[in-house]
Structure 1
């Protein structure tokens, strides 16, 4: 159904390390019809009104901002800790080797705001799950997440579904 979009995403073998098949969306972003189709198709999948579209740094910002326009919603940025000025709230999460931390402005999300979480790709789901916890800590209602690409073998979409989210993706690639 989205084979036209999948064809616009190139695979770069052995990046960033041997054995990884990197799914590069920059080729999709270069195609105006492909980019417009992504936004249109993601907007069509939204279940109910949303107040904010939260994008995860950095490629998620592109899709969140573009999607916020047709949804008449604001765009909330979820960044690596230390990148936002002013008061922030943060959430730690585990990486393959170590920990990381994401943050958002403390006043970016009013309690009860309906938030759609968006990123370019869902792999293990660690960052997305941390983003959901962070948004909920701020009082948001987060019931949906959308991603352009799913890597189902890594289980991230399943992880978010187990946390009660509706997860939609446009294309999937087997393997890493």
Structure 2
């Protein structure tokens, strides 16, 4: 199954000149979505992990079934103000604005091997912020995983030294 067929490019969204990768057709096709989770699980098995940390909100879509299938703890990396307890905080430059993300301060224990999961690696800034959160709490990043990468934005370059799993490769 060619999963790229389920992720069309929407031109000029959310602003002129941007080619947005729309994952909603993949989510709407149960066979394709299930296949994407299967493939992500297989690709990530090369990078042993104890915990999955997923980015708000679309990273949750792949991380939750992956955590369920592997019986691995899942911890959310949320946008600012969404977590109820003490949290570690990072700010990064997003594609369109500065973004502040948080991870519960007790979510990662020293020595935990953490798989970071998001839907897309674009500029790599959000994933790099996740790396800083995990390492700041004493964890180790096992890999940075996403459904796809946007090659033109060179996000992988910001993750130098960390394994990157891009299920659909660079689009």
The answer, yes or no, to whether TM exceeds 0.5 is yes
Deviation at 1:173, TM superposition (A): 5.4
Is 2:64 the counterpart of 1:65? yes
Contact kept in structure 2, 1:55 and 1:64, CA below 8 Å: yes
Is 2:170 the counterpart of 1:170? no
Find the counterpart in structure 2 of residue 44 from structure 1.
Answer: 42
Change in CA separation of 1:100 and 1:87 when aligned onto 2, cut-off 3 Å: same
Change in CA separation of 1:36 and 1:97 when aligned onto 2, cut-off 3 Å: closer
Q: Which of 16, 25, 28 is the matching residue for 1:27?
A: 25
RMSD: 1.6
Deviation at 1:153, TM superposition (A): 1.3
Show structure 2 runs of 5+ residues with no match: none
Count of residues paired in the alignment: 170
Q: Distance in 2 between matches of 1:75 and 1:96?
A: 26
Contact kept in structure 1, 2:49 and 2:142, CA below 8 Å: no
Normalising by structure 2, report the TM-score: 0.93
Contact kept in structure 2, 1:92 and 1:102, CA below 8 Å: yes
Show structure 1 runs of 5+ residues with no match: none
Change in CA separation of 1:96 and 1:173 when aligned onto 2, cut-off 3 Å: closer
Normalising by structure 1, report the TM-score: 0.90
Q: Distance in 1 between matches of 2:47 and 2:97?
A: 37
More strand by share: 1
Contact kept in structure 1, 2:47 and 2:143, CA below 8 Å: no
